Structure 1
Amino acid sequence: MLEILYTLSKSSEALQHAVIFLFNGAEENILQASHGFITQHEWAKSIRAFINLEAAGVGGKELVFQTGPENPWLVQAYVFAAKHPFASVVAQEIFQSGIIPADTDFRIYRDFGNVPGIDLAFIENGYIYHTKYDTSDRILTDSIQRAGYELLVQSSLGHYHNYTVRVILILMIACSRIYDCWVKLFFFFVAINNLKKFFTAFGLILLSWISTLVTVLIVAVFISLIGRSLSWYTHFYVSVFLYGTAAVVKLILVHSLAKKFYYKVRLTSLPLLEW
């Protein structure tokens, strides 16, 4: 943050909007500093968006794991400004579900200041986070360099004109409405032509989703019972192996059984054609 502040101060190109650099303390003590700023500081009311920097690891790609609330223009601005955007909707759902026992200044700005923002964090080697092995010599300096570059580029958020945002939002809304109408029309005709097949397929898909969810929960309970509840946190591929494999196998199993028993029965019950 200091390096970005220094670079911006030496830049010959003036920003269209002011940028506040907030160095918070007391984060581990119920996020007191961010709460004090957003509720008491005279600058708080002038803030329209924020970028929150977090770390639950020593490096890797900076992951956008929370955005909003609402305000899709902020995500569009991030995609427009960042050279190498990296985000995960799944990460946001998992974090906001409360499964991970942690919190960030993002919630304070959102809930007490009603300000939209972007929450970024390093997550590589997260298993040493808040342990005695969480030392400065393990920090990956190339990740710091990358993050600084990305954040410096994102300072161009102030140059992302409202007119451009409006045009993008109008196009997105128009496309979504057209797509939504097409989907509804398509399913309407499908339901009219063959309502029974439609509900059968829908029921089969719903059953496969529920079965998959139950399987994933069973795996999660088993991992917790053997004392490895956060083993997937270190690398993304671990979570794919633990939960993704179980989910895919369950989906294939449900549809294979349906194909073998249900559809086979229906085919054998059809009368033979007489020529």
Structure 2
Amino acid sequence: MPLTPGTYQLLTIQSRQKAGYRLAAPDGSTVWVPSEQAAPGWRPGQEAEVFVFQDREGKWAGTTQKPKIQLNQFGFLEVKSLSPFGAFLDWGIAEKDLLVPHREQPEPMQAGLSYLVYLYLDPASGRLTASGYLQRFLDTGPPDLALGEAVDLFIWEATDLGVNVIVNHRYKGLVYANETFVRVRLGDQRQGYVKAIRPDYKLDIQLHKPGYESVTDAQTQLLHILQAAGGFLPLTDKSPPAEISRRLEMSKKVFKKALGGLYKARKVRLEPDGVYLNQTS
């Protein structure tokens, strides 16, 4: 099987040299790993898992550094420098920055700012390339997901309806504004849950666990916040939803259910001025 840049590969350590190691791939190609990018204790004949890419000269290189993005994934990366060819991103690999050609920039990128991009293999050059045109890399077919399933999210962009998210590096999803009770920013990575799969295969996503699980999680969260606040929170079931969301990052509905459960368990007491943590909690 040929080497694929932008992925982890299990290779055999072929030889050790002054400046690094030469690793052999099953297809007969070799990968150079500088000493500072190798793991301690490497010896010829051993197998080692490394992240492989092509260096500035197009030769195979490897590293044990963890990249911020891999092939066919999305990532939120900072622009390190600009050049006549495009923008170079910091993707966590010291030996080489990641290029976003001008043709792959929806708007001119600026040094020092971070952007959500997709890493793909350019068929023309055979090199790893990043793109800011995210929509064309998303799967628009039937999603391989189930209702209530936990998914990994990238916060993508705000819309009139809420916040668009990228789901499992593969699908587009939407978190409705009236269900967004946590502070989110472009590029944030969070866990979410599949709320609905629409007939057009688009996904509705929620940030909290569905059903009663969200209430039990909220009870634990509320107890931790009470403890950190010295045992008192100036919130009641009459508090405005916006104030509850700002302080607790949960909806008023979930707050009331969690509060009711903690009260029945005698872990809190409710007073006109707010919630008090019982000393035994």
Q: With structure 1 as the length reference, what TM-score do the two structures score?
A: 0.20
Q: Which has a greater percent of strand? A: 2
Q: With structure 2 as the length reference, what TM-score do the two structures score?
A: 0.20
Q: Which has a greater percent of helix? A: 1
